[in-house]
């Protein structure tokens, strides 16, 4: 590390050890190192005390210290992200901005071996792919500016080793009280999950880094092969590539476009050529048949009007009674009225997807199939209160285009009782008071032109 380096120092034991170790390497540290500290203003006086310690430590070492401040809570609220994510974003932006201003190309971070283990489980719980599970690299580009390099000299050192070094050298540091707060997922992983796993595998801290290195190497290989495939003039067909290679080909291109390569996005692109996928209301991406990803003109999304009314019989005989079948909005459906006992027995059995059971009397005399409308509310089974259907879609990460394709069912009183591919409504489930059951079978038709929902204008099925 002979070039000038910006050292990110929070005031905790990790970064204070990093600062002193780097300073020891040079006879004149001020010619090589600049200290950077970001005050997140999340812990009032404690945050200010962290800043004072970093400033004083830099002064004692004869180093320049650059300090940034920001309202992390406001940033989190504005971006709709967690406090942890917001703090990371503003901190990296500050570091990148400071490095560019000072003409520095390298930023040193104090991540260590324990951080790697915690990160593995955080990413595993969030569904990361092999590249993410491979953890942080000793050197990588800045997430804010790929021209800037991040280095992590302590990545092979454990937290215990850093504490021992700090004690032996008399290095002052400050403990962050928020590291013990159970409302942060990382803290629950650190204080609850990892101690439990170490009971099953005492060598976890030695075994897991080995697994991460393997995953990282395999991901690097796949990334290299994907980049090589994209560089070919005459490429083999994208559809003929192994699924893993398809995913890496798409990931490489998304990263170059500055788009986070999330699994759902990659799968949406991989599954359909020529179909735009919305990233934000202003940004769409699309994959062509050759496997090339590009930005697409945002499509104006409209709510689909119309509906289909299904009349329900007023009585049921001892045997089940099939009374309606048809098509709407790309799904084929079949409805049968059955006794309460039949419904309960069927519900208790393991059944294939595409079959639901409702309390027929709570549905009323008719069922209306339609698409999502502004203001729709839905109370999924198991929930105590209804929620806005739009909020439900957002939480389920259902793309905006797809939301407008989904078929919903409305009971006679106007309450939503079913959303395609989701759950039935809480108010319409079978219980001890059910007298009649409705067996509802549905299936989206093969070849249905998704993302181009049809408009159905009140067609009506005849009663049997």
Residue 464 banded pLDDT, cuts 50, 70, 90: very low
Is residue 63's pLDDT more than 50?
yes
In the structure, what pLDDT confidence band is assigned to residue 446 with cuts at 50, 70 and 90? low
Q: What is the mean pLDDT of residues 235-258?
A: 92
DSSP secondary structure of 101-120: HHT--EEE----HHHHHHHH
DSSP 201-226: -TTHHHHHHHHHHHHHHHHHHHHHHH
| pLDDT of 455 higher than 50 | no
Segment among 18-22, 60-64, 322-326 with least mean pLDDT? 322-326
pLDDT digits (tens, 9 = 90+) for 154-197: 999 999 999 999 999 999 999 877 776 777 788 899 989 999 99
Most confident of 69-83, 135-149, 304-318, 336-350: 135-149
Token couple for 38: 């970001």
* Model pLDDT, residue 319: 59
CA 58 to chain centre: 38
Q: What is the pLDDT of residues 351-391, one digit of tens each?
A: 667 889 999 999 999 899 999 888 999 999 989 999 999 88
Task: Please give the average per-residue pLDDT across 193-222, as a whole number.
Answer: 93
pLDDT, residue 58, reads: 96
Contact 39, 50 (CB under 8 A): yes
Measured CA to CA, the distance from residue 15 to residue 402 in angstroms comes to 46
Q: CA-to-CA distance for 90 and 71, rounded, in angstroms?
A: 9
CA–CA dist 442, 299 (Å, integer): 29
The arithmetic mean of pLDDT across residues 17-25, rounded, is 96
Judged against a pLDDT cut of 50, whether residue 451 lies above it is answered with no
- Residue 258 has φ and ψ, to the nearest 5°, of 75, 30
d(CA 129, CA 438): 41
Q: What confidence tier does 297 reach under pLDDT thresholds 50, 70, 90?
A: confident
Show the domains of the chain with their CATH numbers. Answer: 5-200 (3.40.50.620), 236-300 (no CATH), 307-460 (3.50.40)
CB 19 within 8 Å of CB 1: no
Provide the 8-state DSSP code for 5.
E
Rounded to an integer, the average pLDDT of 72-83 is 82
In this prediction, residue 116 carries a pLDDT of 94
pLDDT higher for 343 or 151? 151
The mean pLDDT of 201-213, rounded to a whole number, is: 93
pLDDT for res 259:
83
- Of the chain, the percentage scoring pLDDT greater than 70 comes to 90
Distance of CA 287 to the CA centre of its chain: 21
| Per-residue pLDDT, 459 | 32
Contacts of 88 (CB under 8 A, 6+ apart): none
Give the strand pairing for 139-141 and 321-328: unpaired
pLDDT tens digits for range 385-423: 999 998 888 888 787 777 888 899 999 999 999 999 888
71 band by pLDDT with thresholds 50, 70 and 90: confident
Asked if 187 and 181 touch (Cβ cutoff 8 Å), the reply is yes
Residues 127-139 have a mean pLDDT of 88
The tokens 């080793």 sit on which residue? 161
Q: Is the pLDDT of residue 438 over 60?
A: yes
Share of the chain above pLDDT 90, in %: 53
Q: How far apart are the two ends of the chain, measured CA to CA in Å? A: 82
Contact 415, 463 (CB under 8 A): no
> β-pairing, 64-69 with 33-39?
parallel
User: In the predicted model, is pLDDT for residue 458 greater than 50?
Assistant: no
Q: What is the pLDDT of residue 229?
A: 95
């Amino acid at each position: 590390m002979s070039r000038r380096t910006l050292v990110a120092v929070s005031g905790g034991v990790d970064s204070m050890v990093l600062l002193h170790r780097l300073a020891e390497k040079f006879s004149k540290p001020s010619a090589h190192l600049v200290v950077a500290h970001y005050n997140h203003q999340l812990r009032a006086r404690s945050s200010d005390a962290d800043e004072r310690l970093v400033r004083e430590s830099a002064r004692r070492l004869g180093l320049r210290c650059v300090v940034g401040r920001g309202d992390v809570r406001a940033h989190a609220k504005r971006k709709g992200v967690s406090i942890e994510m917001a703090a990371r974003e503003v901190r990296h932006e500050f570091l990148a901005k400071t490095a560019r201003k000072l003409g520095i190309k390298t930023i040193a971070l104090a991540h260590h071996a324990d951080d790697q283990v915690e990160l593995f489980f955080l990413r595993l719980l969030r569904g990361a792919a092999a590249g993410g599970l491979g953890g942080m690299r000793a050197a990588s580009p800045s997430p804010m500016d790929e021209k800037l390099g991040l280095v992590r000299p302590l990545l092979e050192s454990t937290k215990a080793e850093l504490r021992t070094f700090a004690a032996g050298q008399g290095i002052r540091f400050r403990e962050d009280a928020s590291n013990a707060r159970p409302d942060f997922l990382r803290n629950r992983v650190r204080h609850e999950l990892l101690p439990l796993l170490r009971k099953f595998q005492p060598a976890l801290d030695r075994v897991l880094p080995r697994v991460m290195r393997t995953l990282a190497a395999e991901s690097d290989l796949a990334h290299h092969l994907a980049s090589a495939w994209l560089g070919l003039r005459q490429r083999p067909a994208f559809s003929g590539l192994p699924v893993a290679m398809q995913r890496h080909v798409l990931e490489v291109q998304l990263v170059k476009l500055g788009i986070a390569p999330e699994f759902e996005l990659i799968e949406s692109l991989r599954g359909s050529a020529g179909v735009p996928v919305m990233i934000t209301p202003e940004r769409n991406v699309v994959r062509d048949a050759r496997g090339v990803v590009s930005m697409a003109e945002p499509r104006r999304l409209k709510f689909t009007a119309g509906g289909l009314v299904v009349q329900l019989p007023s009585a049921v005989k001892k045997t089940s009674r099939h009374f309606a079948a048809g098509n709407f909005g790309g799904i084929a459906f079949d409805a049968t009225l059955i006794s309460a006992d039949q419904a309960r027995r069927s519900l208790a059995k393991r059944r294939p997807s595409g079959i639901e059971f409702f309390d027929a009397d709570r549905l009323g005399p008719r069922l209306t199939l339609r698409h999502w409308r502004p203001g729709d509310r839905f109370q999924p089974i198991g929930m105590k209160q209804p929620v806005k259907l739009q909020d439900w879609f957002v939480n389920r990460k259902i793309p905006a285009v797809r939301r407008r394709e989904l078929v919903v069912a409305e009971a006679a009183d106007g309450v939503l009782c079913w959303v395609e591919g989701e759950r039935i409504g809480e108010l319409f489930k079978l219980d001890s008071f059910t007298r009649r059951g409705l067996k509802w079978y549905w299936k989206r038709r093969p070849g249905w032109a998704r993302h181009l929902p049809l408009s159905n204008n009140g067609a009506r099925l005849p009663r049997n």
